[in-house]
Amino acid sequence: MKDLRLTMMQKNTLLMVGIIAVIVVIGEGDPGFVITYLTFIGVLYTMNTLSYDGADNGNAFLFSLPITRAGYVMEKYVFGLLGGSAMWLFGVALAYTVNALKNVPFSEEIMMNAFVALLMPVFVLAFLLPIELKFGAEKARIMIVVISCLLFVVGMLVAKTGKSIYPALMAWFGKIEERPELAAGASMAAGIALLGVSCRISIGIMNKKEF
């Protein structure tokens, strides 16, 4: 209830995000992009509650209540997944409605983009939540930029030095495209496993923090 009320304090901003999404879809924008964008915004806005909790020594008061640190961490994951899923549903409903009004079919490409966007809250939370719990909101932003740059550099190095494996990778991706149900199942399994590992790390971080 606390996190829901904190998120609703930003309802005007969320309303503006929704209006922009409607304008983009109506104005011949990419529905797949809009679904992904709204899902990402939903996760980020629910994660903003971590900043509110830490403000003005709020965690010290919060943990004087009958809640556990493990329960607190689990709630953040669940709330983030719910927030991202709610915005995903809004994005899918918006895209489907606008396409129906325009007599444009809801293509397989849009459905694939929607599925990928549905997995986004899992991977974003698994990556961002432990970092923000460990370093705080401000330092976490710096850490995320640094990690993103490192991943980009590693990707560039692999792309330049791994030309010998490139044909094999392309062949592997081609096989995946032929069996999308296997790719979907593997992605979901990987997301759940990653989320479990991330949750254990986050609980360990919270247990070591002093307020």
Task: Say if residues 186 and 117 touch (Cβ distance below 8 Å).
Answer: no
For residue 71, the model assigns a pLDDT of 92
For residue 197, the model assigns a pLDDT of 93
Sign of the alpha-carbon torsion through 90, 92, 94, 97: negative
Taking the C-alpha atoms of residue 87 and residue 64, their distance in angstroms, rounded to an integer, is 33
Q: Which residue has the tokens 């992904």?
A: 36
Cα distances (angstroms) measured from residue 1 to each of 11, 25, 38, 155, 164: 15, 32, 22, 42, 54
For residue 201, the model assigns a pLDDT of 94
For residue 198, the model assigns a pLDDT of 93
For residue 140, the model assigns a pLDDT of 67
The three-class DSSP label of residue 192 is: helix
Sign of the alpha-carbon torsion through 50, 51, 52, 54: positive
Which residues of the chain fall short of a pLDDT of 50? Answer: 169
Predicted structure pTM score = 0.78
Exposed/middle/buried for 40, CB within 10 Å: 0-12, 13-18, 19+? middle
For residue 58, the model assigns a pLDDT of 79
For residue 160, the model assigns a pLDDT of 61
* Nearest CA-CA partner of 126 in 197, 69, 187, 183: 197
For residue 15, the model assigns a pLDDT of 85
For residue 75, the model assigns a pLDDT of 92
For residue 6, the model assigns a pLDDT of 82
For residue 79, the model assigns a pLDDT of 92
Task: Say if residues 76 and 49 touch (Cβ distance below 8 Å).
Answer: yes
* Nearest CA-CA partner of 6 in 85, 74, 83: 83
For residue 98, the model assigns a pLDDT of 81
Taking the C-alpha atoms of residue 38 and residue 191, their distance in angstroms, rounded to an integer, is 20
